[in-house]
């Protein structure tokens, strides 16, 4: 089908990733849509998505259908203005097509929503210090934004739901896009979310212990093809065969920045935590000894297969979230003690 978007290999690309600094004026913004809405976006014989591309100049597509999965990923790439215009048009189409509320173009006040997929690393850029940035975007656009607290299963993306009129959502998307491009480097290394049977069944359960269980045999990659589990012993590619190990050509290198004051919690006492993450993921992880820029953040370099890196990133972010929750709890306890 002409409406399908180019597939992302093994979820190793970041939604704000640029191949080089000169290309970081191009935004790729993904959203989670229902299978029904995806059909509206594509249109009969791909007409709607073709018209959208022609009207806005964006590249746009929807991920393939996976049997038994009721969500698909919409991907739109172009300039910030073109992407926001495309989302405005898409939301307008969805509102018009909604059977429960027969809407005509003369009903501009209709409220709806879109679920954007945003890298966990870039959420701070959108929310801003003390929530000032997200408040400014809401005040300026008239849209309401709700950011999920947890990452989606087997990914490092979170949902930001934007609610309002199509025009308000379009304005909010433009401001969000500007934020993402300003800090595009933080999005490098994002593990993209791919809806699949295992992720739908396990939504809301993201602990490192459940993640490190044997989930990969039922996982699907971005093109809907099941990932192969380990071959049985004695088969041509069994453990006794040298070809059973991943070839070096399949290795990927990914970098993420971690605030210096959080590095200790990831390393753990005598390196116990980072050793465990290396063991569970199978990736090699090295940590810069000094901050790489004025932000005071240190670079973590992860080298391994796409699946190993995906697991390593998930475990690293899980550890960060646990530490943040621990610090918030400690601060609350200290405040309570002072108030006594």
- Determine the pLDDT at residue 188: 75
Q: Which residue, among 170, 160, 29, 159, has the nearest Cα to 95 in the 3D structure?
A: 170
232 vs 333, residue with greater confidence: 333
Lowest mean pLDDT among 21-25, 273-277, 317-321: 21-25
- Determine the pLDDT at residue 44: 92
Average confidence (pLDDT) over 233-250: 44
Mean of pLDDT over the chain: 75
Write down the residue that tokens 């920045």 correspond to: 257
β-pair partners for 89: none
**pTM of the predicted model, to two decimals?**
0.56
Tell me which range, 19-23, 79-83, 111-115, 148-152, is most confidently predicted by mean pLDDT: 79-83
Q: Which long-range contacts (CB under 8 A, 24 or more apart) does 242-251 make?
A: 246/305, 250/305, 250/306, 251/303, 251/304, 251/305
Judged against a pLDDT cut of 80, whether residue 221 lies above it is answered with no
- Determine the pLDDT at residue 295: 67
- Determine the pLDDT at residue 306: 85
């Amino acid at each position: 089908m002409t409406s399908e978007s180019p597939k992302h290999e093994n979820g190793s690309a970041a939604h704000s990733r640029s191949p080089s600094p000169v290309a970081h004026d191009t935004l790729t913004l993904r959203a989670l849509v229902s299978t029904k809405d995806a059909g509206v976006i594509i249109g009969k014989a791909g007409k709607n998505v073709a018209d959208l591309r022609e009207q806005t100049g964006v590249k746009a597509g929807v991920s393939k259908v996976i049997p038994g999965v009721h969500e698909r990923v919409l991907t739109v790439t172009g300039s910030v203005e073109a992407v926001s215009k495309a989302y405005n048009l898409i939301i307008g189409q969805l509102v018009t097509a909604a059977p429960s509320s027969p809407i005509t173009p003369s009903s501009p006040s209709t409220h709806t929503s879109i679920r954007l997929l945003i890298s966990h690393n870039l959420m701070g850029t959108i929310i801003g210090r003390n929530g000032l940035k997200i408040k400014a975007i809401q005040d300026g656009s008239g849209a309401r934004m709700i950011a999920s607290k947890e990452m989606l299963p087997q990914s490092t993306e979170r949902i930001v739901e934007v609610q309002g009129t199509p025009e308000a959502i379009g304005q909010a998307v433009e401001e969000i896009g500007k934020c993402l491009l300003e800090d595009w480097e933080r999005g490098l290394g994002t593990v993209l979310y791919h809806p699949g049977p295992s992720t739908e069944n396990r939504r809301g359960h993201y602990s490192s212990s459940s993640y490190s269980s044997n989930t990969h045999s039922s996982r699907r990659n971005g093109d809907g093809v099941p990932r192969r589990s380990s071959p049985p012993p004695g088969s041509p590619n069994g453990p006794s065969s040298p070809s059973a190990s991943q070839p070096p050509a399949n290795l990927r290198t990914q970098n993420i920045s971690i605030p210096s004051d959080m590095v200790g919690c990831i390393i753990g006492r005598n390196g116990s935590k980072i050793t465990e993450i290396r063991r569970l993921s199978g990736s090699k992880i090295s940590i810069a000894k000094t901050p790489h820029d004025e932000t005071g953040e240190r670079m973590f370099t992860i080298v391994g297969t796409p699946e190993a890196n995906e697991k390593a990133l998930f475990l690293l972010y899980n550890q960060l979230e646990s530490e943040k929750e621990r610090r918030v709890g400690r601060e609350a306890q200290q405040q309570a003690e002072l108030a006594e």
